[in-house]
Amino acid sequence: FSCASGEYLEMKNQVCSKCAEGTYSLGSGIKFDEWDELPAGFSNVATFMDTAVGSSESKADSCNNSSWTPRGNYIESNRDDCTVSLIYAVHLKKSGSVFFEYQYIDNNIFFEFFIQNDQCKEMESTADKWVKLTDNGEWGSHSVTLKSGSNILYWRTTGILMGSKVVKPVLVKNITIEGVAYASECFACKPGTFSDKPGASGCQVCPRDTYSEKGAKECTKCKEEM
């Protein structure tokens, strides 16, 4: 059972319905491109990796406030010496993929991305879980194929504090997961975009000299300055 792009599954009647104007759906995919808050389904887990005897108790508590933080267009990692995982669990009806864009410019932070599937196995090749550094200001991209069934996705960062040097955090945006059977809801068009017909698989960018709020069916003309 699956719904096409531009549709979502209406849970009550178990039928695929067209997305309303001002919204869209990828059908077999879900996309996270707004980070005003942590989207539903995501969670943060912070731990302290410590080898020294006796100090781990007090240190474990100090990681309670360490987390990935939503910053609007992207989410930002911790920058302390805690290990923080951004976690998302998804069930795929068929094999699929996960894709995301990231900035990772500071090698004083470890950045791993890995998947646990329903056999509790991590990815076959552990070398694949280390994400490559990017150039300053550049966004890199990373994609991994996913098996059907349950997949738990982990974006995990650990800072290495060297004296008073400030660690630059990892930034992640545009997380897209392909292979879900259906979207359970449609996503609102982002500000600056619109969708004027039901059943859209994406939103169009507003024409020049116009603007829109979130979930717009049309764009509004900018007021001319006198």
Asked which of 145, 160, 178 is the last residue of a domain, the reply is: 178
CATH number for position 225: 2.10.50
Residue % of the chain over a pLDDT of 70: 88
Both 159 and 79 in one domain: the answer is: yes
Both 2 and 101 in one domain: the answer is: no
pLDDT reported for residue 2: 78
**How far is it, in rounded angstroms, from Cα 62 to Cα 211?**
44
**How far is it, in rounded angstroms, from Cα 100 to Cα 97?**
10
Asked which of 178, 194, 218 is the last residue of a domain, the reply is: 178
Nearest to 24, CA basis, from 205, 155, 170, 226: 205
Quote the strand ranges of 29-148, DSSP E.
Answer: 29-32, 42-47, 69-70, 75-76, 83-92, 96-103, 109-117, 140-146
Both 93 and 144 in one domain: the answer is: yes
CATH number for position 80: 2.60.120.200
Question: Is a pLDDT exceeding 80 seen at residue 20?
Answer: yes
Band (88; pLDDT cuts 50, 70, 90): very high
Express each pLDDT in 129-170 by its tens digit.
899 999 998 999 999 999 888 899 999 999 988 777 788 999
Both 55 and 143 in one domain: the answer is: yes
Rg (CA), the chain: 20
Express each pLDDT in 114-130 by its tens digit.
999 866 566 555 557 89
Question: Is a pLDDT exceeding 60 seen at residue 75?
Answer: yes
Both 11 and 73 in one domain: the answer is: no
Both 16 and 56 in one domain: the answer is: no
Both 104 and 5 in one domain: the answer is: no
Domains in the chain, number: 2
Mean pLDDT of the chain: 88
Average pLDDT over residues 11-23: 92
Both 75 and 159 in one domain: the answer is: yes
Both 23 and 54 in one domain: the answer is: no
Both 35 and 66 in one domain: the answer is: yes
Asked which of 143, 159, 178 is the last residue of a domain, the reply is: 178
Question: Is a pLDDT exceeding 60 seen at residue 58?
Answer: no
Both 123 and 225 in one domain: the answer is: no
Both 62 and 130 in one domain: the answer is: yes
For residue 219, the enclosing domain spans 1-27+184-226
